């Protein structure tokens, strides 16, 4: 009996060890965590300067003359810049995420727009939207898109893409340009690509280039639609044909003057 007991014990022990070995060898070896490559990146800035022809915009006190001879001044000037895209020398395109910037020329800090996380490289072109894309017009926003900024009519009519206010001959000018849904009025969202004119923006670890971009307010009044303030609506507060007329004009108001790389 003792021998049988000893033999049984040995068999049980052997089976246990065998099973332990099988368990250890059957456990899969943990896979190493994947290595996510990090793209070296820096930043690029765009400085927006408002001009009337070749003169720097002066609010309220300065009187200007448009192409048909109407005199006017400016008391407010704002617009959205969104969906910024940069093209490298090899034609690859980088797109800024969550790309919405409100430029308010009465707030100098907002006229220097910082574009972050731009991959290092040399860039030859830029594209952006004047206004806010149609998808974003359908939802509440924060930051630059917060309605508290005074650039939103509400979720039916959407965002004001660009706004200029002032006076002409003692009467108020209030042009609030918007429209993204054909059911409410013409779409005024404009995608533009001001020319680099052979220049290059060089994003490196040592420096963030600055694109100096001017916009000419006189373009609001001319080409393709010559606007006479004695007959054209002085107050525009909703989407419609008048908004489209102005947006078609200001679509070519931006000019890159130079790019500062060092």
169 within domain boundaries = yes
What does the pLDDT read at residue 255? 97
Q: Is residue 21's pLDDT more than 50? A: no
Q: What is the tens place of the pLDDT at every residue in 100-111? A: 999 999 999 999
Q: Is residue 17's pLDDT more than 80? A: no
94 within domain boundaries = no
Q: Give the mean pLDDT of the chain.
A: 88
Q: Which of 151-155, 189-193, 242-246 has the lowest mean pLDDT?
A: 151-155
Q: What is the tens place of the pLDDT at every residue in 160-207? A: 999 999 999 999 999 999 998 878 889 999 999 999 999 999 999 999
Strands 71-88 and 93-95: antiparallel
What does the pLDDT read at residue 8? 46
What does the pLDDT read at residue 2? 44
Q: Is residue 257's pLDDT more than 90? A: yes
133 within domain boundaries = yes
Phi-psi region of 10 (alpha: psi -120 to 50; beta: other; left: phi over 0): alpha
- What mean pLDDT comes out for the span 80-95? 97
* Residue 5 pLDDT level (bands cut at 50, 70, 90): very low
Backbone angles phi, psi at 259, to 5 degrees: -125, 125
What is the DSSP secondary structure assignment for residue 110, as one 8-state letter? G
What does the pLDDT read at residue 250? 98
| Rounded Cα gap, residues 2 and 8, in angstroms | 10
CA atoms within 13 A on the CB side of 242: 16
109 within domain boundaries = yes
Q: What is the tens place of the pLDDT at every residue in 43-57? A: 999 999 999 999 999
What does the pLDDT read at residue 10? 45
DSSP secondary structure string for all residues of 131-153? S--TTGGGS---GGG-GGGS-EE
Domain count for the chain: 1
Q: Is residue 13's pLDDT more than 70? A: no
Residues in the chain, how many?
Answer: 262
CA distances from 218 to 61, 84, 246 (A): 17, 24, 11
Strands 41-52 and 93-95: unpaired
Domain that holds residue 178: 42-82+101-113+129-191+207-260
Burial environment of residue 201 by CB neighbours within 10 A (0 to 12, 13 to 18, 19 or more): buried
Q: Is residue 155's pLDDT more than 70? A: no
* Residue 258 pLDDT level (bands cut at 50, 70, 90): very high
119 within domain boundaries = no
177 within domain boundaries = yes
């Amino acid at each position: 009996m003792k021998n049988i007991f000893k033999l049984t014990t040995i068999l049980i022990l052997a089976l246990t060890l065998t099973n332990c070995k099988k368990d250890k060898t059957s456990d899969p070896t943990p896979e190493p965590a994947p290595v996510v490559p990090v793209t070296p990146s820096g930043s690029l800035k765009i400085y927006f300067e408002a001009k009337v022809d070749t003169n720097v915009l002066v609010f309220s006190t300065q009187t200007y003359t448009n192409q048909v001879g109407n005199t006017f001044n400016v008391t407010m000037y704002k617009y959205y810049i969104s969906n910024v895209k940069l093209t490298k020398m090899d034609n690859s395109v980088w797109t800024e995420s969550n790309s919405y910037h409100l430029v308010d020329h009465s707030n100098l800090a907002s006229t220097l727009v910082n574009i972050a996380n731009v991959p290092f490289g040399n860039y030859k072109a830029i594209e952006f939207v004047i206004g806010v894309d149609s998808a974003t017009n359908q939802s509440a926003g924060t930051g630059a898109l917060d309605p508290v900024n005074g650039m939103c009519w509400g979720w039916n009519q959407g965002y004001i893409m660009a706004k200029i206010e002032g006076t002409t001959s003692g009467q108020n000018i209030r042009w609030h340009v918007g429209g993204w849904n054909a059911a409410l009025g013409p779409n005024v969202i404009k995608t533009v690509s001001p020319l680099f004119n052979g220049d290059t923006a060089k994003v490196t670890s040592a420096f963030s280039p600055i694109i100096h971009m001017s916009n000419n307010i006189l373009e609001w009044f001319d080409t393709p639609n010559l606007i006479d303030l004695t007959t054209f609506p002085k107050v525009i507060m909703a989407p419609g044909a008048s908004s489209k007329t102005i947006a078609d004009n200001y679509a070519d108001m931006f000019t890159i003057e130079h790019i500062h790389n060092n």
